[in-house]
Structure 1
Amino acid sequence: MHAGPPPLGSTDASTYGEADGTAQDDPIDLDFRRLRYFVAVAERRHFGRAAAALHMTQPALSRQVRQLEEDLRVTLFTRHTRNVTLTPAGEQFLHDARELLTAGRAAQHRTRRVGAGAHTLSVGFVLGTDVTAAVNAFSARRPDVSVTLVRLRWWNQTETLSEGSVDVAFARLPLGSDALRVMPLYAEPLSAVLPAGHPLADQAKVDLAALADDPVLQYAVATTAWATVWNAEPHREGRNAGPGPAFHDMEELLGYVGAGRGVAFVPEPVAALHPRAGIVYVPVADVPPGQVALVWAGTDTSRLVGEFVESTAAALRADPHSKP
């Protein structure tokens, strides 16, 4: 069984040092600023582009990364004339550095929340989820707490929760993180988004295979797991059409579908929110529904989060057909 990457505090010489035993066992104090610099270079594979994104000079960035390598006593990058590549140690460190930065941001958000007083709660939600019943149930229980609503997108819901930017959220699964706690709420059937002139636009329901000749619009920056659930794939027996354009929001999606660039799949509650001339939503008959869940950080010990979870569960028990 794969045990996952070793922690940054590991003294195993093969983790960040060389296999010949040159790694040192003495712990070091990692500078979060240098971690951000390293991640910026690693993601762009280029010191110049990373420096521009960080609003600093390239020589200054190079010095900071060199100092990080000296602190770790390992080479993180192989420098080439036009770009850089990560060494095996660099690949490992990129994984851990991202986790450390996320944990640092989460600690900052939670500490500030506590410092502001235990009378605020931020609740995230994705488009088409109705938070009214849950928020009302919580507010009846804790009228002294101010609830702030924060709109999330499919590409940032996991990061926003992991960082602690919101305390709890109504999100669509899958999330791709084992560090989050999940309480499933309800299922959402999918609808195909078709131009009004599509041959299947007048159907009460449509089978997925019937759309095999249509390009399918892609959720931009979506994980493979997300696309598997929410971007239904009609081309299982071999594609007949290439993928459609990637979209970032419903306006882009509707624009592409209306222009005949392809079809798309959205949860039925999202379809209900966006009636549009020239666009037709048709339920898909033969794909499993997606899942909406209440999600919060597994490390969050906030009493308010616990009370909101209890209030949401109570609202769902009171009306099983509601979508709290």
Structure 2
Amino acid sequence: MSLDLRKLGYFVAVAQSQSYVRAAAELHITQPALSRQIQALEESLGVTLFTRDRRGTALTGAGRQLLEDAVPLLASAVALERRARAAARLGNEFTIGFMPGVPFTDLLAEFRAAHPEVSVDARYVPIVEQEPYLLDGTVDVSFVWLPLKSRELRHVELLDVPRVAVVPAASPLAGATKLTLEDLRAMPLVDDPGSLPGWRGDSAPRRRPLVAVEERLEAVAAGEGFCVLPAGVAQYHRRDDLVAVEIHDAEPVVVALAYTRHRTMPEIQHFAAMARRHLTRRRGE
């Protein structure tokens, strides 16, 4: 059996929207054409994927299992295409992912001067995209905050950065020069508790912890609690209505340079060595 990824994508669209009408509109095809594609997929698999009644479209047990497997499969297919295109440009292009809080400008200039034969591009990498951008080939190498989840990634540790608590400017904690984990105990944490190892709060964790920096800052400004960021990121996103205070007894965040394990470009190791020397010099200044 050959699985048609296009039909699989149609299936995911219907499953996620729970509506043939909405899915057809999103896919820019007619509803009858979409129904035929789903029917063909069901016939090729030998299972029924959806039940339809007056209440709408629902997944069968087989459909739920297929959806669970199809989403990462389609993402992997997209990543495969991007990595293939990235491999086609090896030898003359090199894309470096950067993020707020890591001194980068001088390092980039130094690397470009050392490799005039390579077209070096720099791309901003949001925290929530640091692993996806590496895995799908958007960037060849990137500065990241540890830890990383994917086993496909390798990294070189570069430096430690203090963790800060971002609180509303009107909070009693905003006037402190430093805070402890105990100082923050009574205040809700809007992001994942994993962002602050060792912290045990009095409030239950959010049902959906916030990940994107902008979402976290908006939640803090709205008085929902505090968030934790690397000091450099907080400085980059500073606002008049928020204050960042170092957490004295929190483990620092580790900045690393990461790349996928299958990447063999010599520029990666050259850039990693240069980054270590560059950041070591800055710490000594």
TM-score relative to the length of structure 2: 0.81
What is the match of residue 43 of structure 1? 16
- Select which of 251, 255, 276 maps to 1:288: 251
Q: Which residue of 1 aligns with 2:58?
A: 84
- Work out the percentage of aligned pairs sharing the same amino acid: 37
Kept in 1, the 8 Å contact 2:193–2:205? The answer is no
Which secondary structure state, in structure 1, belongs to the residue aligned with residue 179 of structure 2? coil
User: Which portions of structure 1, spanning 4 or more consecutive aligned residues, are displaced by more than 6 angstroms?
Assistant: 240-245
**Which aligned pairs between 1:164-183 and structure 2 lie closer than 5 A?**
164-183=137-156
Q: What pairs up with 1:4-15 in 2 under 5 angstroms?
A: none
- Matched length: 282
| Cα-Cα RMSD | 3.2
Q: Which residue of the partner structure matches residue 33 of structure 2?
A: 60
**Larger helix percent:** 2
Seen in structure 2, the aligned counterparts of structure 1 residues 74 and 294 have a Cα distance that, compared at 3 Å, is farther
Per-residue CA shift, 1:115-146, capped at 9, x if unaligned? Answer: 45631122222332333355344323321212
Counterpart residue number, 2:116: 143
Offset of residue 184 of structure 1: 2.8
The 1-side partners of 2:60 and 2:123 are apart by 36
Alpha-carbon contact 2:168-2:223 (below 8 Å) kept: yes
Report the CA distance between 1:92 and its aligned residue.
4.3
Alignment equivalent of 1:230, drawn from 178, 195, 198: 195
Q: Cα gap change, 1:296/1:175 in structure 2, threshold over 3 Å: closer, same or farther?
A: same
Give the superposition deviation at 1:268.
0.6
Aligned partner of 1:300 in structure 2 is 263
On the 8 A contact 1:204/1:283 being kept in 2, the answer is: yes
| Residues 192-230 of structure 1, C-alpha deviations (whole Å, 9 max, x = no match) | 112233212222211223223333334xxxxxxxx2432
Name the CA distance, whole Å, in 2 between partners of 1:78 and 1:285: 56
**Structure 2 residue aligned with 1:239:** 203
Q: Which amino acid aligns with 1:290?
A: V
- Supply the distance in 1 between the matched residues of 2:169 and 2:88 (Cα, whole angstroms): 53
Task: Output aligned runs, 1:176-255, within 5 Å.
Answer: 176-218=149-191, 227-230=192-195, 234-236=199-201, 238-239=202-203, 246=210, 248-250=212-214, 253-255=216-218
Partner in structure 2 of residue 18 of structure 1: none
Which of 46, 63, 73 is the equivalent residue of 1:73? 46
Matching residue within 27, 31, 53 for 2:4: 31
Q: Encode CA deviations 1:267-309: one digit per residue, 9 max, x unaligned.
A: 11112224433432111123322232222223334x2xx3223
Aligned partner of 1:315 in structure 2 is 275
Corresponding position of 1:277: 240
Three-state SS of the structure 2 residue aligned to 1:155 is helix
1:223 paired residue number: none
Q: Which amino acid aligns with 1:310?
A: H
Structure 2: unaligned runs, 5 residues or longer? none
The 3 A distance-change label for structure 1 pair 315 and 256 is closer
CA distance in 2, matches of 1:33, 1:183: 38
